[in-house]
């Protein structure tokens, strides 16, 4: 028997704060809900992807989605969680960012009917005095001043806050009111960092209409090993746009998830069933060295974000590099992917020169030491001497497990 949505969200870790006194309320009626995206960048990160996955479950259980891409709020920038004033971006940048984000949602929600709205459409015609009279009059200053980020910014040593950023919650609160009146929206889903802004909307709807609307928030995803917000790597944020984070690097990011977090990430970031995830974890626990859970995670998330074909290509390329497949069996597309990611050097009779050119050794003497110690392999075979025969075409040269280069003969 299929689980109820409240059970599904609880099991997957998508329950944080909510205005519902009984979580089962979402199981008994069809709800029109919305979630908002601030187009401050042209792409979502894997942090944003977690909320998208929660949204996907609401949709799969029959609730009606409205995606708000904030053309108006994007011109201000959400100050919550920021220690200093954001830099403003232009309307052209906002439009470009909106297009990129909407395209990503269409990929993730492939085949599903999602209504997309832009709050610029209703804010562009609202006059300042009208907004103060109709909305500002009903928002208590105590509520706005009590926000944690406001207190932090106004405290001694804080960076201060502009009237524009201080008013951001008013704008978001009005979004909820507008969508409730015009679209019948009764629920906002969000990450825990948006709780304060969302509650402002609940309060505004109650004051102006007398209606009860609700918020459902998910906890921010945290790397259990480091305690930091998930979605960062040594190179920065992990983006869904392949021009910012290549499909190969995206796949590798998930492949390198630590053992303590992988089960949580399978629940959050994939659509695999409970039985499928439990079976994957059982296989993983029986042989942690196989990294079976990470491999399933990497393939499933990459498939969801970048499509089946690209996911299979980077999986094949990764398997060939790290011992699960033959390099010379790769197709042209997989070779092309690897050439974009790895150093590519020409073959030479002197293997030590090749190792230095490929940045696998700092000097010829170091290269010689690596070869003599068995740290270097060519096409999966360890080198035991400096006498090397490269195969025609592309060859894979490795130092240890992870340092690789392609040698073209």
Number of neighbours of residue 239 by Cβ within 10 angstroms: 23
Q: Are strands 214-218 and 394-399 parallel, antiparallel or unpaired?
A: unpaired
Helix (H) or strand (E) holding 12: helix 5-12
Listed as ranges, residues in the chain with pLDDT below 70 are 1-2, 80-83, 231-235, 323-325
pLDDT for the residue numbered 80: 66
CA distances from 159 to 76, 99, 144, 154, 399 (A): 17, 32, 17, 7, 48
**Separation of alpha carbons 312 and 303, rounded Å:** 8
**Separation of alpha carbons 22 and 5, rounded Å:** 13
Cβ atoms of residues 409 and 347 within 8 Å:
yes
List the one residue out of 115, 11, 1 whose CA is nearest residue 69.
Answer: 115
Q: Tell me the per-residue pLDDT of 79-96, one tens digit each, with 9 for 90 and over.
A: 766 667 777 889 999 999
Alpha helices in 13-119 (DSSP H): 25-28, 46-60, 91-108
**Separation of alpha carbons 205 and 79, rounded Å:** 22
Block residue for tokens 């001043």: 145
pLDDT for the residue numbered 88: 82
pLDDT for the residue numbered 169: 83
pLDDT for the residue numbered 222: 83
Q: Tell me the per-residue pLDDT of 257-272, one tens digit each, with 9 for 90 and over.
A: 999 999 999 999 999 9
pLDDT for the residue numbered 120: 94
Q: The dihedral of CA 128, 179, 168, 241: what is its sign?
A: negative
**Separation of alpha carbons 164 and 172, rounded Å:** 13
What's the burial of 187, exposed, middle or buried (CB within 10 Å: 0-12/13-18/19+)? Answer: buried
CA distances from 176 to 41, 182, 277, 303 (A): 23, 10, 36, 33
pLDDT for the residue numbered 1: 55
**Separation of alpha carbons 64 and 231, rounded Å:** 28
Q: The dihedral of CA 271, 261, 292, 310: what is its sign?
A: positive
Question: DSSP assignment, residue 405?
Answer: E
pLDDT for the residue numbered 35: 97
pLDDT for the residue numbered 403: 93
Q: Which three-class secondary structure string do you get for 124-184? A: CCCCHHHHHHHCHHHCCHHHHHCCHHHHHHHCCCCCCCCHHHHCHHHHHHHHHHHHHHHHC
Helix (H, G, I), strand (E, B) or coil at 67: strand
pLDDT for the residue numbered 325: 61
Q: Are strands 214-218 and 187-191 parallel, antiparallel or unpaired?
A: parallel
pLDDT for the residue numbered 6: 97
The two structure tokens encoding residue 250: 């995206």
Q: What angle do CA 157, 160, 166 make, to 5 degrees?
A: 145
pLDDT for the residue numbered 223: 77
């Amino acid at each position: 028997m299929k689980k109820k949505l409240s059970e599904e969200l609880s099991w997957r870790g998508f329950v944080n704060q909510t205005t519902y006194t009984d979580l089962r309320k979402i199981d008994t009626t069809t709800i029109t809900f919305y979630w908002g995206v601030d187009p401050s960048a042209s792409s979502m990160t894997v942090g944003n992807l977690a909320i998208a996955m929660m949204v996907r479950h609401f949709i799969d259980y029959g609730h009606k989605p409205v995606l708000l891409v904030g053309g108006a709020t994007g011109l201000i920038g959400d100050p919550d969680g920021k220690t200093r004033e954001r830099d403003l971006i232009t309307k052209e940048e906002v439009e470009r960012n909106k297009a990129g984000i909407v395209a990503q949602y269409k990929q993730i929600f492939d085949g599903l009917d999602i209504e997309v709205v832009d709050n610029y459409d209703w804010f562009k015609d609202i006059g300042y005095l009208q907004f103060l009279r109709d909305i500002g009059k009903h928002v208590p200053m105590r509520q706005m001043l009590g926000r944690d980020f406001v207190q932090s910014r106004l405290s001694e040593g804080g960076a201060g806050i502009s009237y524009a950023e201080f008013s951001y919650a008013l704008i978001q609160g009005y979004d909820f009111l507008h969508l409730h009146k015009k679209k019948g929206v009764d629920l906002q889903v969000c990450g825990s960092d948006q709780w304060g802004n969302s509650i402002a909307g609940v309060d505004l709807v109650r004051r102006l209409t007398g209606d009860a609307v609700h918020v459902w928030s998910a906890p921010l995803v945290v790397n259990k090993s480091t305690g930091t917000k998930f979605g960062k790597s040594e190179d920065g944020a992990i983006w869904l746009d392949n021009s910012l984070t290549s499909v190969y690097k995206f796949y590798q990011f998930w492949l390198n998830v630590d053992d303590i977090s992988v089960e949580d990430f399978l629940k959050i970031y994939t659509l695999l069933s409970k039985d499928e995830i439990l079976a994957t974890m059982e296989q993983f626990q029986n042989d942690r060295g196989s990294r079976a859970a990470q491999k399933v995670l990497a393939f499933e998330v990459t498939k969801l974000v970048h499509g089946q074909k690209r996911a299979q290509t980077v999986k094949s390329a990764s398997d060939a590099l790290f011992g699960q497949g033959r390099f010379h069996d790769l197709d042209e597309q997989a070779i092309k992917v690897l050439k974009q990611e790895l150093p590519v050097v020409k073959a030479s009779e002197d293997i030590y020169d090749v190792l230095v050119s490929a940045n696998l050794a700092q000097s010829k003497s170091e290269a010689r030491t690596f070869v003599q110690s068995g740290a270097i392999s060519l096409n999966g075979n360890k080198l035991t001497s400096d006498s090397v025969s490269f195969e025609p075409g592309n060859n894979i040269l490795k130092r240890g497990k992870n340092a690789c280069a392609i040698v073209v003969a």
